[in-house]
């Protein structure tokens, strides 16, 4: 197998795993959002997902990132690292959002009329959605850089 093919396979595997991870985070955020919006109704919609299950499903993305680092130029690996960092931020925001929803059983935390005093940043659904969007943008940047450096080796032609 050629270097080019090895790199292409590892880049595609990482992008696929990252997109799946983004989708899972978005699905979890949607479930928490539906649960939050249904507070006060007779029947709750959605559920609060288990973050441990979500974390376990993200392992393939980490494995694929290692393959990206082994396969090619450092600049591509750095973009994969940026995707991992943004995905970690999105997970952290989701965790904060889940904690906020769990701590407010009587009122939806996504209401603009609700005033919550907090020491740190207040993470609601829109912040989680913004983090997910940042991960999607990072994946697009990763793919652009990977495409540009497919034949490079340490900054020079292969």
For the purposes of burial, counting CB atoms within 10 Å of the CB of 33, is it exposed (0-12), middle (13-18) or buried (19 or more)?
A: buried
Query: Can you give the three-state secondary structure of 65-90, one letter per residue?
Result: HHHHHHHCCHHHHHHHHHHHHHHHHH
Backbone angles phi and psi of 156, in degrees to 5: -120, 170
Q: What is the pLDDT of residue 44?
A: 67
What pLDDT is recorded for position 1? 67
**∠ CA 119-124-58 to the nearest 5 degrees?**
105
Return d(Cα 145, Cα 141) in angstroms, integer.
6
Query: pTM here?
Result: 0.87
Q: Are 146 and 22 in contact (CB under 8 A)?
A: no
Strand spans (E) along 110-150: none
Question: What pLDDT is recorded for position 113?
Answer: 73
Per-residue pLDDT of the chain (158 residues; tens, 9 = 90+): 687 888 889 999 999 999 999 999 999 999 998 888 887 776 766 668 888 888 888 888 999 999 999 987 889 999 999 999 999 999 999 999 999 888 887 778 877 777 777 777 889 999 999 999 999 999 999 999 999 888 765 555 44
């Amino acid at each position: 197998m050629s270097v080019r093919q090895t790199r292409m396979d590892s880049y595609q595997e990482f992008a696929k795993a990252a997109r799946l991870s983004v989708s899972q985070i978005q699905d979890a955020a949607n479930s928490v959002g539906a649960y939050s919006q249904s507070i006060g109704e007779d029947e709750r919609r959605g559920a609060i997902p288990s973050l441990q299950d979500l974390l376990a499903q993200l392992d393939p993305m980490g494995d694929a990132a290692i393959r990206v680092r082994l396969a090619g130029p450092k600049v591509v690996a750095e973009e994969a690292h940026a995707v991992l960092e943004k995905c970690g931020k999105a997970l952290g925001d989701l965790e904060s959002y889940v904690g906020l929803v769990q701590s407010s059983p009587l009122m939806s935390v996504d209401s603009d009329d609700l005033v919550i005093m907090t020491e740190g940043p207040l993470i609601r659904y829109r912040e989680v959605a913004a983090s997910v969007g940042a991960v999607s943008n990072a994946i697009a940047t990763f793919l652009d850089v990977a495409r540009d450096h497919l034949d490079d080796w340490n900054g020079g032609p292969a």
